[in-house]
């Protein structure tokens, strides 16, 4: 009987705590408005529009640079705004299920999404089934959202990129 009461108490506390978290998360989103969510979502879509048109998104990197873990599994990279990457030969990667979390209204937001498709950089092996989870931290600089940090991790059944450095 004591075990049953403990289990019931646990379930009640879980329900109370869970509903409180939902209420806090819901309030957090409304407080920050939808402007940041819309702007950052459009920025993520622009990132992929650029690479699918054979342009790197280095112009979208913060003036302070970006700390990045790439899906290739390499070490942490620090990417400067003017970094040189291999030329894009082909890219069909698209973001999916984009979720934006405003951190500080009009200043900092985090984008989380999945990215899926294929890519080929000149001089690197093709990645035919690119499928990753992405977390990108954006900060607003001079009126536009810029990349400050990124973390990409391959999903089960998918591949990451073949690049591990900006060095050629």
Please give the DSSP secondary-structure letter assigned to residue 23.
Answer: H
Question: What 3-state DSSP class applies to 1?
Answer: coil
Per the CB < 8 A criterion, the answer to whether 112 and 101 are in contact is: yes
For 2, the enclosing helix (H) or strand (E) is helix 2-32
Domain residue ranges in the chain: 1-32, 33-154
Fold of the domain spanning 33-154: Nuclear Transport Factor 2; Chain: A, (3.10.450)
Over its length of 168 residues, how does the chain's per-residue pLDDT go in tens digits? 555 554 454 444 344 444 434 334 444 445 545 899 999 999 999 999 999 999 999 999 999 999 999 988 888 999 999 888 889 999 999 999 999 999 999 999 999 999 999 999 999 899 998 999 999 999 999 999 999 999 999 886 545 554 444 454
Instruction: Give the number of C-alpha atoms closer than 13 A to the C-alpha of residue 164, restricted to the C-beta side.
Output: 5
Please give the DSSP secondary-structure letter assigned to residue 162.
Answer: S
The model's pTM: 0.74
């Amino acid at each position: 009987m004591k075990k049953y009461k403990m289990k019931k108490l646990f379930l009640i506390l879980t329900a109370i705590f869970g509903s409180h978290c939902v209420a806090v998360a819901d309030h957090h989103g409304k407080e920050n408005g939808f402007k940041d969510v819309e702007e950052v979502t459009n920025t993520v879509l622009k990132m992929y529009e650029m690479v699918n048109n054979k342009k790197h998104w280095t112009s979208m990197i913060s003036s302070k640079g970006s700390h990045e873990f790439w899906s290739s599994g390499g070490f942490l990279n620090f990417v400067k705004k003017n970094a040189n990457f291999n030329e894009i030969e082909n890219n069909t990667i698209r973001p999916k299920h984009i979720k934006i979390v405003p951190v500080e209204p009009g200043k900092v937001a985090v984008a989380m999404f999945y990215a899926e498709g294929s890519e080929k950089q000149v001089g690197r092996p093709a990645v035919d089934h690119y499928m990753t989870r992405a977390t990108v931290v954006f900060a607003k600089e001079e009126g536009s959202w810029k990349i400050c940090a990124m973390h990409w991790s391959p999903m089960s059944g998918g591949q990451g990129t073949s690049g591990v450095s900006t060095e050629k």
